[in-house]
Structure 1
Amino acid sequence: MAELEEEVERRQRLGQEAAARKALIASSYHPVRPHVYNTLQDEALAPEFLAAAEYSTSPGADLEGLLQRLETVSGEKRIYRLPVFTAPFCQALLEELEHFEHSDMPKGRPNTMNNYGVLLHELGLDEPLVTPLRERFLQPLMALLYPDCGGGWLDSHRAFVVKYAPGQDRELGCHYDNAELTLNVALGKAFTGGALYFGDLFQAPSALARPLEVEHVVGRGILHRGGQLHGARPLGTGERWNLVVWLRASAVRNRLCPMCCRKPELVDDDGFGDGFTREEPTTVDVCALT
């Protein structure tokens, strides 16, 4: 019980601590690649990604047509892959992330499982990079791919970069995401191993199911449902950096929390929140049960 109480108190402090770190970083940190903080431009995105997003917003667009413009990793599990960023943008973003990692700025933990990485909200990259990525490109894609999972109603996200390296995190246990949908993009560097593996949906796991393994390719993003059980195989050599965006739809999670599978009991929160919203007034809150 003492450990549970300590964890509850830690989570209650997360919002205020994140806001304090973001304010300090904004006032004191000096980027090495300042252009990555500019509003997302088409030049940073892979032509295949732009083409898929453009098709998704065209009159008469449908799932069959979209699937011709991306790779279907597993039709049964509804896992897809396509290039997202250009190689130069991946390199520039990675250089900025490494510069921040080596600075003396405070750094929040990406999530409860990953110990190394960067929260893009705290670094100041949410507004110029991730929000337009979600609103302009990912939402129309997801609306066709996952209409039953809130793909057309994505209204918030949590974005972070995770790092795997010798002497640090090398693998990730099987889990599901606090998201309706997830984008996972390999940014670099040179590495071996560390494949992503997928099981069933966590609501209906099967002991007989054989995991599906997907190798990471720099610049390419993997799209999957947040409830899909998945994990990362052990890293072999090198370093692997991945941008992970948990995409959230309050219209879905307001009815059923994706973590506890119950109707959420919302509590006020000073931080970025978990994608839940109250109808009156409109605010972002967290579920009291997670």
Structure 2
Amino acid sequence: MHADNFFVPSFREAVRENTEESFRSIMTEPSPGVFAFEMLQPHFCGLLLSEKILKSGFMKQKFRIMRPNTMNKHGAVLDDFGLETMLDKLMEDFVRPLSKAFFPEVGGSTLDTHHGFVVEYGMDRDVDLGG
């Protein structure tokens, strides 16, 4: 995983410094305990979406794609596309430092699993978070 290809510079720098102050410098807190910040490069998001769109038709014909949850019908778990190793690295190197700084009371530094997925929204797809 080459961080320059995936993450915006401000996020990479905050993680490199790895302090609560560096993380807070890139965040807003719209509600207590809810943090918003830029993380992924737009071109990476496009690649991720194209992987889902390109492979989903092929994969659904040959393999069963696991739905991400019971609320969404038009989504896919990223592990089904071979992204488990990437998500493990993302969690270990980038998410865990954030969770350690902001959520230590709920085991923030001990995260060891993930559940990454995408959902396709649209008129003939899922229309909201609840499906």
Same fold (TM over 0.5): yes
* Residue of structure 2 equivalent to 1:269: none
Answer yes or no: is the 8 Å Cα contact 1:49–1:83 preserved in 2. Answer: yes
Q: Which amino acid aligns with 1:46?
A: V
Answer yes or no: is the 8 Å Cα contact 2:119–2:126 preserved in 1. Answer: no
- Paired-residue identity, %: 30
Change in 2 beyond 3 A, CA 1:119/1:65 = closer
Q: Mind listing any 5+ residue stretches in structure 1 that lack a counterpart?
A: 1-39, 174-231, 233-290
* Residue of structure 1 equivalent to 2:67: 109
Query: What displacement does 1:145 show?
Result: 0.9
Question: How many residue pairs are counted as aligned between the two chains?
Answer: 127
Higher strand proportion: 1
In the TM superposition, structure 1's runs of 4+ consecutive aligned residues that sit over 6 Å from their partners are none
Query: What displacement does 1:55 show?
Result: 2.0
The alignment's TM-score, normalised by the length of structure 2, stands at 0.87
Residues 35-69 of structure 1: CA deviation (Å, up to 9, x unaligned): xxxxx21122111211221122xxxx3x3453123
RMSD: 1.7
Within 1, Cα distance between the matches of 2:27 and 2:15?
A: 11
Query: What displacement does 1:114 show?
Result: 0.9
Answer yes or no: is the 8 Å Cα contact 2:77–2:117 preserved in 1. Answer: yes
Q: Which amino acid aligns with 2:2?
A: Q
Q: Look up the SS of the partner of 1:161 in the other structure.
A: strand
Query: What displacement does 1:143 show?
Result: 0.4
Higher normalized contact order (CA 8 Å, seq sep 6+, divided by chain length): 2
* Residue of structure 2 equivalent to 1:118: 76
* Residue of structure 2 equivalent to 1:41: 2
User: Larger C-alpha radius of gyration, 1 or 2?
Assistant: 1
Q: Look up the SS of the partner of 1:156 in the other structure.
A: coil
Answer yes or no: is the 8 Å Cα contact 1:72–1:79 preserved in 2. Answer: yes
Q: 2:48 aligned with 1:90, yes or no?
A: no
Within 2, Cα distance between the matches of 1:169 and 1:53?
A: 34
Higher helix proportion: 2
